[in-house]
Amino acid sequence: MLQTKPVEKDLIKVHLMSEHQIPDYQAELSAIFAQGNVGKAINYASSEEFIETKNDILNILKHIDEKENYELIDFANNLTKEKDNVLNVLDLILLWYRDLLMYKVTKNPNLLLYKKEISSISKIANMISYEGIQDILKSIEETKIKIEANVNMETTLQLMLFKIKENSND
């Protein structure tokens, strides 16, 4: 059996940008998600569904403190319709809060994955505490574990979103 090593993220990003004319921002995110698999990176970068899902998630996360509970429940319910994609969605959410933490610590927008969202990231990073971000990251990781253990996905996602909302105004 032929075993291969994952391709470096930066090489995948360059490939997507030069060979597939994918914008920098989208190429970087796709390369991160592909975890060293060039084929997956190309699929992510060219998938309208992936881009739409990412935009929906960012819309919720940027305004989660303004969302009503029923909106979060609806969002969680919609996520459960794409069961195969839920872990990818959680990874997108993790990357968002990773960027918030990175910006809060360094104030360097060049280190962000969601560079286009710098104004929202800056605003939210000033409103949320380190402990709030830590609680959110912990909640996302726990949610991933529960979903992999076949705990009720809908309820698990709802609780995670409520936890994120609760910690967004620390």
Residues 133 and 70 in one domain: yes
Structure tokens at 148: 């992999």
In terms of domains, do 67 and 89 share one? yes
Judgement on whether residues 24 and 59 belong to the same structural domain of the protein: no
Range of the domain at 4: 1-46
Domain harbouring 159, CATH code: 1.20.272
- Dist. CA 150–CA 87, nearest whole Å: 12
Question: What radius of gyration, in Å, describes the C-alpha atoms of the chain?
Answer: 16
- Full DSSP string of 16-42: HHHHH---HHHHHHHHHHHTT-HHHHH
Q: Are residues 100 and 34 in the same domain?
A: no
Q: How many domains does the chain have?
A: 2
**pLDDT at res. 72:** 96
Find out whether 29 and 61 touch, Cβ atoms under 8 Å.
Answer: no
Verify that 77 and 2 share a domain, yes or no: no
One domain, residues 109 and 28: no
What would the pLDDT profile of 10-63 be if each residue is shown by its tens digit?
999 999 999 999 998 888 888 888 888 898 889 888 889 888 989 999 999 999
Question: 41 and 89 share a domain?
Answer: no
Q: Is the CB of residue 51 less than 8 Å from the CB of residue 44?
A: no
- pLDDT exceeds 70 at position 170: no
Each residue's pLDDT tens digit, 75-122: 999 988 877 789 989 999 999 999 999 999 999 999 998 989 999 999
Q: List C-alpha distances in Å: 15 to 45, 54, 129.
A: 11, 22, 38
- Run of H or E residues at 98: helix 86-106
Cα 3 from Cα 143, distance rounded (Å): 32
* pLDDT score for 81: 84
Whole-structure pTM over 0.85, yes or no? yes
Q: Both 95 and 30 in a single domain?
A: no
Residue 36 shares a structural domain with residue 71: no
